[in-house]
Structure 1
């Protein structure tokens, strides 16, 4: 293991400097992007002075690891559980509740819920695999954990299949140490489509949710961007104009915040955050109707109006179509906001498949500066980060591993690669 600290001058704007710290964790499976998909919520997470992460090794074992923050010594635990690691949907998601217990969900692609909890606070030893509720848990995909005020947890997942599924919402109470169902069907595909969402909870406890619709299993049928928020932990939902939404929300009783036609190379399952005032920011990509080139885009709420900015200036066209995990020349993006500075994190073959960050220090200026964090080729990596550490201390810790990805759920002949936690600080 190595710990490095280095400074990289921003190529396009010399007033920005990235400070980078790298901590090597362990070698892990890299034949596809299952360890590095953008929708891992969470891949790495901090609780008090401890940071936890997880990944599949090259035999498909679920592996957990933890360290003290600012230490480079990782405690690594190969658990008793395995997953179908050759399907990139089947990622591992983790969270720490308010009592310090680790919760883990893994190995899902329209399959039975797999969930376990640590036997003690701060422990990497998992207890037995158990249901959460025991209902609507047979066709699970995209498990995501979120922590709310007081240390309780929210758990989101899709029940059903691509192009035909619903969004389920559970809550965990630290007081009772039990899960209960808030909504069997928060966003209803009505048997005809499904919502691909991204979510976040802001520092005031407001639950923000946005989504694109997909009409069929073909990714080319993604369209539109919608949004809703909850002020009561996910029970009731409002539009950005504070109009009440009927539950379940569907394509008829909600209005999109932005019309994006099918076959626009609109990607699904990206990222969302808020600024200190609770204004939501959604990062994604699509191509406009007068262009053949998909560009990274930022959709954000400013003065109660939804606005769009093009983040990138890419020159290479590509097309999204087909089913399964695709091999795509760019990653899905992550977005974070610190005061007035918005940063979009991504990987693009045009830039050598490196970790890149587009930064705007004044959103009203619409000026974006893009730099590469280092010179490493990260393959088919997509960004995920320590959401708790960012929210509490504005420290950006990325889960990074070079991974392959064959088109349509295929794997590549790439040997095990090092899992790294890379801390990045942007300064002027």
Structure 2
């Protein structure tokens, strides 16, 4: 099967004076080259394969890229290809998940010695984890414990690779509105997990933290989160921040003040004050600029009269700033429990540098743009120029962007997990048939 080259034909350029966005529209023609690598058909009756808190759906190690997804029977499928090739080696494992619950995602990472780590099927249930039997292999060993401590009520498993090849594994212990953040550390030389923090962010039985994390080029771990006070998404509020300069052992605020652990609502640094009932979404993404300043992408509405808009929360000159991206026109509300059918995706944020300036790329989907895979580019200069292009012109349903973080770090190439999926409220299922999984590649 040959590559499919996709062109986007319209770009909207809006200029900003200072930190205030104007309504000036400038149109131009662009043709961003993207390459599509087809993989296989997979479960699409809900968004479990294409939801943003999969860390990761794709991961590159040396010259090969790995992928994971649930097939139409709910089995965990793993794949591997040489970078640049359209030929995938796929295996259907003996492991399966409750695909009726869109929370129960698969997350993967490859450690510094080449072992593939897989965690899957969690929404407040016992840990499911295993790793490959040898380096750069798709064959998985038996299911195993990590540390054996606080592994009975796991949700939102996420892997992060450190500069030395070791791994962090974070998850929520507890439930929505009543949970704590666990952080484990994997030593790839000893092939052993240890508990780094059995309660890094303490919900105190009254709330839980929904996190987004990134590890910058200097090895600093940046962590941000919104608090939720109950299972109802409308209680999401505030954006908080912490960082670690020593591999996750100790944590500090953006001004260098050391946290007394665990972090609680009482001592957390607030990067942006956002009240409940602001349509604030949880579990989005963050990155850092070229000098290590954190940048968080999310959405909420400023007042009851406004519509939800994407925002960037960023640290600059030791001060937190909020940049509104006011291009949306239609309203929606977030309330209730379970996975929601939302007209926009949660955003993915990346940072690069061009012409001596920081450039941010926010990847998203919006029904206003007919469900396409869209990318907003923000140039962080005096004029704060921004523009939107479409990387893929088809309606992607309830898809949210996940990407190969390791490939981006090393080569500044975007590889997105691409699959059209549908989603009904309250963990409902649709009759949507299996859809093709693709990898979309875009080079800025």
**TM category, shorter:** over 0.9
- Could you say which residue in structure 2 is the equivalent of 1:258? 272
Residues 326-345 of structure 1 mapped to structure 2, 5 A cutoff: 326-339=340-353, 340-345=358-363
- Could you say which residue in structure 1 is the equivalent of 2:24? none
1:78 pairs with 82, 92, 98, which one?
92
- Could you say which residue in structure 2 is the equivalent of 1:394? 412
Shift of 1:12: 1.7
Q: What TM-score do you get using the length of structure 1 for normalisation? A: 0.98
- Could you say which residue in structure 2 is the equivalent of 1:374? 392
SS in 2 for 1:238: coil
1:361 and 2:379 aligned: yes
**Distance in 2 separating the partners of 1:220 and 1:278:** 32
SS in 2 for 1:94: strand
- Could you say which residue in structure 2 is the equivalent of 1:406? 424
- Could you say which residue in structure 1 is the equivalent of 2:70? 56
- Could you say which residue in structure 2 is the equivalent of 1:178? 192
- Could you say which residue in structure 1 is the equivalent of 2:83? 69
2:322 pairs with 308, 311, 315, which one?
308
Q: Is the 8 A contact 2:6 2:391 kept in 1?
A: no
Give deviations 1:291-326, integer Å, cap 9, x for gaps. 330000000111111111112411101000000000
Residues 192-271 of structure 1 mapped to structure 2, 5 A cutoff: 192-271=206-285
Which shifted more, 117-126 or 4-13? 4-13
Give deviations 1:117-138, integer Å, cap 9, x for gaps. 0001111110000010111101
1:417 and 2:443 aligned: no
**Distance in 2 separating the partners of 1:363 and 1:110:** 44
Shift of 1:277: 1.0
- Structure 2: unaligned runs, 5 residues or longer: 14-27
Q: Is the 8 A contact 1:345 1:358 kept in 2?
A: yes
SS in 1 for 2:150: coil
**Distance in 2 separating the partners of 1:299 and 1:190:** 26
RMSD of aligned residue pairs (Cα, Å): 1.1
Q: How many residues align?
A: 426
1:12 and 2:12 aligned: yes
**Distance in 2 separating the partners of 1:364 and 1:180:** 46
- Could you say which residue in structure 1 is the equivalent of 2:364? 346
**Distance in 1 separating the partners of 2:10 and 2:340:** 31
**Distance in 1 separating the partners of 2:143 and 2:61:** 23
Shift of 1:19: 1.5
Which shifted more, 305-314 or 81-90? 305-314
**Distance in 1 separating the partners of 2:392 and 2:208:** 38
Q: What TM-score do you get using the length of structure 2 for normalisation? A: 0.94
